[in-house]
Amino acid sequence: MKKILRTYLPFVANEVKTQLAYRGAFYLWAFISLFSSFISYFLWMAIYGSSESGVIGNLTQNEMVVYIFMVYITSSLVSISVSTWVGYDVVEGRVAMNLIKPIDYRASLIAQALGDMLYHLVVPSVFIWIGIEIYKVFVLGMPVISLPTLILYICSVLMSFLLYVLFDFCFGMLAFFTTYIFGLRMAKSALLSFLTGQLIPISLFPEVAQRIFDCLPFSSMIYTPVMIYLGKYTGAELAWAMGRQFVWVLLLYWGGSLIWKQVTKRLVVLGG
């Protein structure tokens, strides 16, 4: 364990340093995605204004506001695009170097992603989170988040992080087969924005679609932690939701190892 930490901690630290050096791009991304959160905010306000019942997909208007901005925080912590790094490594031939080093390529990527997550935690997530809590208590008149719920949310986010990164690693393997990953990346982010509940709470989908989503790993990435934050799961339901996250982490870990073995077997490196 100690050896693993000694090997991979430098990757974490290095990524935090890189992020600090090149923060411009990240601020831009954070700012633009905050834009779309505000678009959803206004859209949902209009939707609730036009609705008679006041509860849409099991969420009240106030809960929806919290949902929108917690989705923003959760996805900035969780959605770390490992596949982009894999893509660069493949195109520039660095993958060969990674194969001859006595480290596990995927573990080094996960460590690097962890560095990203830690950085995103400080800018801007914590500040926005404090903003949400203040808004919740003083404007919406909801109670402040309880400590047990917060701890459960953090545990769930950590699993979501692993889930996303392990999935994205598998996706990144496509870089070995095609050079133009841009179109595929766009398709991926469009599909994920849907299946993870980022665009619209999964409880708004028809019953059949929800059952299908239950069998996929994606709703565990964002929807589950945000619902836990909102206190929508209790008892057995909560255990089931987090258990499912855990099982998916194991499955994707195993699947990723399998794909990696297959891919490196047929890999031919031209220089690098």
CB of 2 to other proteins, least distance (A): 42
Specify the long-range contacts of residues 216-220, CB closer than 8 Å, at least 24 apart.
Answer: 217/163, 217/167, 217/248, 217/251, 217/252, 218/192, 219/195, 220/159, 220/160, 220/163, 220/244, 220/245, 220/248
DSSP-assigned letters across all residues of 81-136: -HHHHHHHHHHTTHHHHHHHSSS-HHHHHHHHHHHHHHHHIIIIIIHHHHHHHHHH
Partners of residue 59 on adjacent β-strands: 56
Residues 233-252 that bind other proteins (CB under 8 A): none
User: In this chain, which stretch among 25-33, 122-130, 135-143, 263-271 interacts with other proteins, using CB under 8 A?
Assistant: 25-33
Residue window 43-82: x/- pattern of binding to other proteins, with contact defined by CB under 8 A: x-xxx-xxx----xx-------------------------
For other proteins, the binding residue among 7, 14, 18, 36 (CB under 8 A) is 36
Residue window 175-194: x/- pattern of binding to other proteins, with contact defined by CB under 8 A: ---xxx-xxxxxx-xxx-xx
CB of 159 to other proteins, least distance (A): 25
Q: How many CB atoms lie within 10 A of CB 249?
A: 21
Nearer to other proteins, 30 or 155 (CB): 30
Q: Are 74 and 222 in contact (CB under 8 A)?
A: yes
Number of residues in the chain? 272
CB of 199 to other proteins, least distance (A): 6
CB of 62 to other proteins, least distance (A): 17
What radius of gyration, in Å, describes the C-alpha atoms of the chain?
20
Residues 197-226 that bind other proteins (CB under 8 A): 199-200, 204-206
Which residues sit at the interface with other proteins, rule CB under 8 A? Answer: 24, 28, 31-32, 35-36, 38-39, 42-43, 45-47, 49-51, 56-57, 178-180, 182-187, 189-191, 193-194, 199-200, 204-206
